[in-house]
Amino acid sequence: LIPAIVVFIYLAVVVYIGIFAFRKATGKEKAEDYFLANRSLGPFVFLLSLFGTNMTAFAILGSSGHAFTNGIVTFGLMATSSALVIPLTIFLCGTRIWALGKKYGFMTPVQMFRDRWECGNIGTVIFVVQAALLIPYIIIGVMGGGTTLNVISGGLVPFWFGGAIVALVVMSYVFFGGMRGTAWVNAFQTILFLVFGAIAVVVIGTGMGGFQSAVNGLLSSPATAPLLTRERISPYYFFSYTFIPLSAIAFPHIAIFCLTARKMGQFKKTVIFYPLCIMAIWLPCVFLGVMANRVQDVPAIRAKVEARRVLATQGKNLPPEQRDQLRDQSAGDDTLLLLLQRFAPLWLAGLLGAGIMAAVMASDSQILALSTMFTEDIFAFYGGKRRFGESIQVQTGRIFIIIITVLAYAVALRAPETIFELAIQYAFSGYAALSPLIIAALFWRGSTKWGALASTLWVAFAVIAVAVFQAMVPAPAPGVSDIYASIGGFEALTRTPGGTAIFGFMPVVPMVLISALLMFVVSLVTRKPQAATIEKYFRFGTPESS
Amino acid sequence: LHETILADLSCHPALRFAPGHLELAQSLSVVAASLVLWMLVTYAWPAHLEEEIEGSGKKERAAEEDAR
């Protein structure tokens, strides 16, 4: 119970930060103050909270779970490409989004698209697709909170109660604190995780008798030695993963966050230190995930390893349902929590659990982004702000936060988690495939609203198509791929144990390439916006701009 | 590209014994990314955007003072 009490204290601190931010807000309720912290975040909070916003439960629990199953390759797959691509997109696109937002008062990416391409309803289509890809994150955040509290308390806190507590806490500080509260909480959470992540590595490493002996133990067994190499991952798969970080700048909560900096110079430290923050978080998570394979005295971990062994040796002869069951049993998303329970003293397990809870609760910025998008892209765009005023717009945003959190909690209690895991798996690909919109809007004079519409509809179609394909076609046994379409002797469409492959690549590759191609071709043959509109976006720093 | 090279390297029998070193290599590539970004920020910073915004801010403040 002690770890759960420590986590509850942490949650109380987080709520207090949100209320403190509420009291620091400027007197009259302004949309820009509530949704963008008055575009006034300082460099320290900007770096830590932008990073924290991007570090979700999937980055922390998911990376250690992936490393538990796939080995040390996880760091190369997910962290190294993110370490370069994400800060590079922040450098290239984030700075421009900030400058345009500051100059023209944009608060969401859709507002910018509407102005840049002179469109109205096409902006609404983009909003719908962005929102649909964001909602599963919020639901899985509530589920993650419930699961984490349940595991940390040793089952004393039931899933429904843990989920309710997490939903209530997130809703409270987002409701009261808006962007200021969310940014402060994210900065606090990032510090917490960086500090306790390092402590966790030392404590668990010592508990396991040192990492060197753990590594030697893994190498000595033919079953676990491949976890320390990258030989089981194809170059196509590696290449595909470099496309995923493109999603970061297309995520509305990240793009909106770029608008909160007080000065553009604040991006400098963020861009330079972002890769080092990624390393500081991912290295311990991946390493601990791999090392967990050596911990045979924890029954839950032993059961996972056994399920994986059965799947690998007898998977081909088992029915699909049983294979799925074994896959669920072998999933390692709770590995980090199990290691904490085994090796950390109770009080430290509580603090480290609070750190993990911090990552699980990263859905706060997504809830706020969705509220900002709804109030700006729908409520204000369709006349609500003009008719009812800015104060009512902020109140609408707050009511939206309550509605979306309650709905997310209700769905989290009823729906199976796997549906949302699947949705999130392809939401990353979906957002990566939406990145040509941002790039074209900022860097290509010739882009048009029809090009943007074609890309957006393609993304919606592709995400649904892949999700339906994976839901309907059962995953084969490990080491086997079921080919469903061939073109010219090449495997065009394949169902793999981990997902879907298109010409050997993950779906994200064709999704991004076709999205970019559609943007290019359709824009070429359709009418451009007026010259004055285009000049607004491409005359920065020229004599006529001043 | 570096992922592919590292993937190929890791398949090399000589390097299979050194997972720790490969992890180090990946970490070094992250540090290298940080250095590349530092160079970008230092030598290719879009200062014109910054000047435009801060310049227009100064003009607005000056106009406000004149109006007073």
DSSP symbols for A364-420: HHHHHHHHHHIIIIIIITTTHHHHH-HHHHHHHHHHHHHHHHHHHHHHHHHS-HHHH
Q: Inter-chain contact B19–A75, Cβ cutoff 8 Å?
A: no
Q: A-chain residues within 8 Å CB-CB of B55?
A: 546
Among chain B residues, CA nearest to A538: B49
The answer to whether the Cβ–Cβ distance between B3 and A271 falls below 8 Å is no
pLDDT of A543 reads 53
- B37–A91 CB contact, under 8 Å: yes
Using a CB–CB cutoff of 8 Å, tell me whether A233 touches chain B: yes
SS3 A493: strand
Beta-bridge mates of residue A493? A485, A502
Q: Which of B36, B38, B41, B42 to mutate to test the interface with A (most CBs of A within 10 A)?
A: B41
- Is residue A241 within 8 Å of A81, Cβ to Cβ? yes
Nearest CB among A231, A283, A541 relative to B11 is that of: A231
Best probe of the A interface among B21, B50, B54, B56, by most A CBs < 10 A, is B50
Nearest by CB to B51, from A80, A91, A541: name it.
Answer: A541
Q: How far is A460 from chain B (nearest CA, A)?
A: 29
The total of other beta-carbon atoms located within 10 Å of residue A437's CB is 28
The answer to whether B7 faces chain A, any CB pair under 8 Å, is yes
Which strands, in side-by-side order, build the sheet including A482-487? A482-487, A490-496, A499-502
Are A229 and B10 a contacting pair at CB < 8 A? yes
Which residue in B11, B49, B54 has the most chain A C-beta atoms within 10 A of its own C-beta, making it the best mutation to test that interface?
Answer: B49
Beta bridge partners of A495: A482, A500
| Residue A453, burial from CB neighbour count under 10 angstroms (0-12, 13-18, 19+) | buried
Interface size between A and B, measured as CB pairs under 8 A: 120
Residue ranges, chain A, pLDDT below 70: 1, 25-29, 56-59, 231, 415-425, 540-546
B14 Cβ under 8 Å from any chain A Cβ:
no
Q: Going by C-beta distance under 8 Å and a sequence separation of 6 or more, which residues neighbour residue A190?
A: A48, A49, A51, A52, A55, A277, A358
Q: Which of B4, B49, B55 sits opposite A95 (nearest CB)?
A: B49
Say whether B50 and A263 touch across the interface (CB within 8 A).
yes
DSSP string over A254-323: HHHHGGGBSSTTHHHHHHHHHHHHHHHHHHHHHHHHHHGGG-TTSHHHHHHHHHHHHHHHHGGGS-HHHH
With an 8 Å Cβ cutoff, are B46 and A96 in contact?
yes
Of the partner residues B2, B16, B52, the one whose CB lies closest to the CB of residue A99: B52
On whether any CB of chain B is under 8 Å from the CB of A287, the answer is yes
| C-alpha closest to that of A125 among A377, A446, A428 | A377
The confidence score (pLDDT) of residue A209 equals 76
- Looking at the complex, does the CB of residue A265 fall below 8 Å from at least one CB of chain B? yes
Reported as a single tens digit per residue, the pLDDT across B6-46 is 555 454 444 444 445 556 677 788 889 999 999 999 999 99
| Nearest-CA distance B68 → chain A (Å) | 23
Considering only alpha carbons, which residue of chain A is nearest residue B16?
A229
Beta strands in A423-513 (DSSP E): 482-487, 490-496, 499-502
Residues A412, A408: Cα–Cα separation, whole Å:
6
CB contact under 8 Å between B52 and A76, yes or no, is no
Identity of the residue in B3, B19, B53 whose CB atom sits nearest the CB atom of A80: B3
Which of B4, B27, B29 is facing A283, going by the closest CB pair?
Answer: B27
Predicted pLDDT of residue A327: 81
- Our CA-based measurement puts residue B65 at a distance from the nearest CA of chain A, in whole angstroms, of 19
| pLDDT given at position A250 | 93
- Cβ of B16 within 8 Å of Cβ of A75? The answer is no
Residue A260 near residue A179, CB atoms below 8 Å: yes
Quote the tokens at residue A208: 């396991």
Task: Pick A215's closest partner by Cβ from B4, B19, B30.
Answer: B19
State residue B59's pLDDT score: 64
Residues on chain A touching B28 (C-beta within 8 angstroms): none
| Closest to A287 (Cα-Cα) out of A228, A213, A355, A224 | A228
Residue of B nearest to A265 (CA): B50
B54 chain-A contacts, CB cut-off 8 A: 263
Inter-chain residue contact B3 with A238, CB threshold 8 Å = yes
CB–CB contact A279 B46 (8 Å): no
Residues A359-376: tens digit of each pLDDT = 777 778 888 999 999 999
For strands A482-487 and A499-502, give the pairing.
Answer: unpaired
Q: What is this structure's pTM?
A: 0.86
State whether residue B25 sits within 8 Å of chain A by CB: no
CB A417 within 8 A of CB A61: no
Per-residue model confidence as pLDDT tens digits over A98-125: 999 999 989 999 999 999 999 989 999 9
| Contacting residues for A414 by C-beta, under 8 A, at least 6 apart | none
pLDDT at res. A58: 65
* ipTM over 0.90 threshold: no
**pLDDT in the model for residue A526:** 95
- Distance (Å, rounded) from C-alpha A541 to C-alpha A259? 19
Q: What is the pLDDT of residue A90?
A: 94
